[in-house]
């Protein structure tokens, strides 16, 4: 192959690579490899001068293969492909070599071996690059609509931004109403504005928007297709109310004799068996809970049906399914609080006066079960001594390792609730660190710290015990003063850890999105692309990517929407470059390839009296299963042909000479 002209570029990545190995030596080694015309090293290959260096060399030396040994191809492959394109070369004549993540970052203790490894990886890339060839991709149109999963503040913001850009949006919410966790909050920190006052107008905007269709009390049950053209199956759970007839007058709710614990009030207080999630619910359409409805449980009552002025009650209603066709999917399903009963030492679930921060929100809310009065759940009395425990389950090897990112500021807000409800109350804030990092948080922290009878103690409670009167007794070691403090509190508030919702795992598998060690959705890049995923056309909004407070959630959701809008308005998606391809001369039409294809992209067709395999380039997603199965080598995968992989393997197995 005398016409192969390879340029090799070794990046220092500042000290990230050059601090462990000598890139100049690797370049010198590379310059002696077959077909290598030029080999250089440079401080930052990805920088503008670094890119210009490659571009100039391509023209000057008439290069037709480029090897860049630098960071992971998952980071900068598109950057360097753009350089090739700019210089008039097909981008698939680029071969990246990962000498940072796979080498210098993990082998700094053995620099000689790391350098040897870098040389071998470069030699293997040279062997492989010799067999690269030009690849062209095809374009397919994009469906200009989006699915937003989850109707909390993230989903609301993303849906509105998409809809305002002229995109048809389907907003799927599993509960009766949109609003999410933010609707459950009394106030928001550090400004202390009423949560519902800023949220509910947005909920109404969503309901009224001509480009948004809400599917409440619904779930995503299947996703097929691919970026630009997803087919999504939505399950509409039976509400036993015909929402197309219902006017939302609420007479049924008023007259219903059935009682159930209120999920919206975190189990405090009750709701009816036919209910709205909360007073300002959107859509304002009730659902019947068959677990508590007297008709479903005992075969009596039917009061709702009798009082409904429009005959909307339908006890026979079954679940229904809707198929949607969308170009992009925004995942905004939020978070759940960690199950506090798992922290047995705190007695949550066992002792009535141990509650979560979210339960305190419900107690503090004027629309909540106590009409805004903060009380002890055991006897309804006003608590005089309240302990707030930060990092309950968070930053804890036994429970959740990461920080919840809003517990500290929420705790400060909770001090405010308590001092405004019970001005003479004594509040103990038991913290690990107070992380008041957001805009206005530090000022808020200083203000709360200055209040009378508010004590900050650096320590976590040991085991909590319940006294006869329902009070809680525990020891806490204050690591600031070195003293063991005995506390008797009327109420203990746990600022709980945050985890991904339970329904995330099945959805994640449908969407083929990876997760991080905490189980949250894995972003495409932690700094540069935090609202995209490795699955094209699927975007992340809010806390499903990781814990966030409201301002960060809203910013993240708007960014996800902007990315989705850009993706949809571009108008087309390109087929993957790694497509399957058939050498018809070698193909015997055995159809083994077709049997292993997960996308039904391969058919066997008659051609000139023979049977040969044919690949549908839009259906093919480029896994290469067919190429691995083909007994004759007729089926290959672009950029991953047998020859390309085997030449790389052979060099790595044999070592660099």
Partner 1 sequence: MGEGVFEPRIVVFACNWCSYAGIDLAGTSRIKYPHNVRIVKVMCSGRVNPEMVLKALADGADGVLITGCHPGDCHYISGNYKTMRRYFLLRKLLKQLGLEERVRLEWISASEGERWARVATDFVEHIRRLGPLKLKEVMSSE
Residues in contact with partner 1 by the rule CB under 8 A: 72-74, 98, 100-103, 105-110, 113-114, 116-117, 120-121, 124, 509, 512, 514-517, 522, 534-535, 578, 596, 598-599, 621-625, 627-629, 637, 640, 642, 645-646, 648-650, 652-655
Alpha-carbon gap, residue 417 to 187, rounded angstroms = 9
Which residue's CB is nearer to partner 1, number 271 or number 621?
Answer: 621
Q: How far lies 335's CA from each of 188, 268, 496, 500, 545, in Å?
A: 17, 20, 12, 5, 9
User: Which residue in 265, 494, 272 sits closest to 364, CA to CA?
Assistant: 265
- With tokens 């700019």, the residue in question is 86
Which residue's CB is nearer to partner 1, number 266 or number 648?
Answer: 648
Which residue's CB is nearer to partner 1, number 231 or number 426?
Answer: 231
* Least separation in angstroms between CB 606 and partner 1: 28
Buried-state track 556-569, b at ≥16 Cβ within 10 A, e below 16: bbbbbbbbbbebbe
* Least separation in angstroms between CB 641 and partner 1: 10
Which residue's CB is nearer to partner 1, number 470 or number 518?
Answer: 518
Which residue's CB is nearer to partner 1, number 110 or number 191?
Answer: 110
Q: How many CB atoms lie within 10 A of CB 260?
A: 15
* Least separation in angstroms between CB 615 and partner 1: 15
* Least separation in angstroms between CB 227 and partner 1: 13
Which residue's CB is nearer to partner 1, number 466 or number 516?
Answer: 516
Which residue's CB is nearer to partner 1, number 224 or number 483?
Answer: 224
Alpha-carbon gap, residue 529 to 495, rounded angstroms = 30
Give me the sign of the Cα torsion angle 413, 417, 418, 419.
positive
* Least separation in angstroms between CB 650 and partner 1: 5
Which residue's CB is nearer to partner 1, number 421 or number 533?
Answer: 533
Cβ pair 144, 568 in contact under 8 A: yes
* Least separation in angstroms between CB 73 and partner 1: 7
> Please, which residues have CB within 8 angstroms of residue 322's CB and are 6 or more apart in sequence?
215, 233, 234, 236
* Least separation in angstroms between CB 503 and partner 1: 16
Please report how the helices 73-86 and 48-60 are oriented relative to each other, as an axis angle in degrees rounded to 10. Answer: 50
Alpha-carbon gap, residue 337 to 357, rounded angstroms = 10
Bridge partner list, 387: 428, 492
Q: Are strands 274-275 and 270-272 parallel, antiparallel or unpaired?
A: unpaired
* Least separation in angstroms between CB 101 and partner 1: 3
Output phi, psi for 562, to 5 deg: -60, -40
* Least separation in angstroms between CB 124 and partner 1: 7
Q: How far lies 121's CA from each of 25, 71, 181, 650, in Å?
A: 14, 13, 50, 11
Which residue's CB is nearer to partner 1, number 268 or number 331?
Answer: 331
CA angle 484, 488, 491 (to 5 degrees): 125
> Please, which residues have CB within 8 angstroms of residue 460's CB and are 6 or more apart in sequence?
389, 391, 430, 432, 476
* Least separation in angstroms between CB 564 and partner 1: 20
User: Which residue in 126, 179, 64, 206 sits closest to 651, CA to CA?
Assistant: 126
Which residue's CB is nearer to partner 1, number 571 or number 633?
Answer: 633
* Least separation in angstroms between CB 630 and partner 1: 9
Which residue's CB is nearer to partner 1, number 249 or number 515?
Answer: 515
């Amino acid at each position: 192959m005398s016409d192969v002209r390879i340029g090799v570029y070794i990046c220092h990545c500042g000290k990230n690579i050059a601090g462990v190995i000598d890139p100049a030596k690797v370049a010198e080694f590379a310059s002696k490899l077959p077909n290598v015309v030029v080999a250089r090293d440079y401080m930052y290959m990805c920088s503008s001068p670094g890119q210009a260096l490659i571009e100039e060399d391509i023209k000057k030396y008439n290069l037709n293969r480029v090897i860049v040994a630098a960071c992971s191809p998952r980071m900068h492959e598109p950057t360097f492909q753009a350089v090739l394109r700019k210089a008039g070369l097909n981008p698939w004549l680029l071969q990246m070599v990962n000498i940072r993540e796979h080498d210098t970052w993990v082998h700094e203790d053995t620099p000689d071996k790391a350098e040897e490894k870098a040389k071998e990886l470069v030699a293997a890339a040279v062997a492989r690059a010799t067999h690269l060839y030009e690849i062209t991709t095809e374009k397919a149109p994009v469906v200009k609509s989006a699915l937003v999963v989850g109707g909390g503040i993230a989903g609301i913001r993303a849906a509105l931004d998409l809809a305002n850009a002229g995109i048809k949006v389907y907003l799927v919410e599993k509960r009766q109403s949109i609003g999410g966790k933010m609707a459950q909050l009394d106030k928001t920190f550090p400004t202390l504005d009423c949560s519902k006052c800023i949220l509910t107008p947005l909920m109404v905007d969503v309901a009224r928007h001509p480009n948004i269709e809400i599917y409440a009390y619904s779930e995503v049950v299947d996703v097929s297709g691919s970026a630009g053209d997803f087919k999504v199956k939505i399950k509409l759970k039976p509400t036993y109310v015909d929402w197309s007839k219902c006017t939302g007058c609420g007479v049924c709710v008023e007259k219903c004799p059935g009682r159930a614990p209120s999920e919206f009030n975190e189990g405090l207080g009750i709701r009816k068996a036919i209910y709205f999630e909360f007073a300002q619910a959107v859509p304002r359409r009730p659902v019947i809970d068959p677990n508590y409805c007297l008709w479903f449980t005992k075969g009596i009552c039917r009061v709702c049906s009798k009082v409904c002025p429009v005959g909307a009650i339908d006890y026979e209603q079954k679940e229904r399914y809707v198929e949607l066709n969308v170009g992009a999917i925004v995942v905004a399903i939020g978070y759940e609080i960690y199950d506090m009963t798992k922290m047995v030492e705190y007695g949550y679930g066992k002792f009535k006066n141990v509650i979560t921060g979210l339960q305190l929100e419900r107690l503090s809310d004027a629309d909540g079960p106590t009409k805004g009065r903060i009380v002890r759940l055991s006897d309804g009395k006003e608590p005089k001594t309240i302990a707030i425990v930060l990092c309950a389950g968070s930053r804890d090897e036994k429970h959740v390792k990461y920080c919840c990112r809003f517990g500290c500021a929420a705790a400060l807000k909770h001090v405010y609730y308590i001092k405004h409800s019970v001005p003479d109350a004594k509040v103990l804030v038991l913290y690990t660190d107070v992380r008041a990092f957001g805009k206005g948080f530090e000022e808020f922290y200083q203000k709360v710290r200055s209040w009378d009878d508010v004590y900050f103690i650096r320590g976590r409670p040991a085991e909590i015990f319940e006294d006869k009167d329902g009070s809680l007794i525990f020891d806490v070691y204050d690591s600031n003063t070195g003293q063991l403090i005995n506390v008797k509190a009327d109420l203990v508030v746990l600022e709980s850890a945050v985890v991904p919702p339970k329904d995330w795992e099945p959805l994640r598998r449908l969407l083929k999105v990876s997760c991080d060690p905490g189980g949250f959705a894995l972003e495409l890049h932690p700094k540069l692309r935090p609202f995209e995923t490795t699955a094209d056309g699927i975007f992340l909004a809010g806390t499903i990517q990781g814990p966030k407070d409201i301002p960060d959630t809203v910013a993240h959701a708007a960014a996800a929407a902007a990315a989705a809008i850009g993706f949809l308005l571009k108008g087309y998606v390109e087929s993957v470059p790694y497509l399957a391809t058939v050498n018809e001369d070698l193909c015997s039409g055995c159809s083994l390839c077709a049997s292993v294809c997960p996308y039904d992209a391969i058919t066997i067709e008659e051609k000139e009296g023979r049977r040969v395999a044919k690949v549908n380039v839009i259906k093919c997603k480029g896994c290469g299963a067919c190429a691995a199965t083909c007994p004759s080598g007729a089926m290959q995968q672009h950029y991953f042909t047998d020859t390309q992989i085997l030449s790389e393997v052979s060099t790595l197995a044999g070592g660099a000479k």
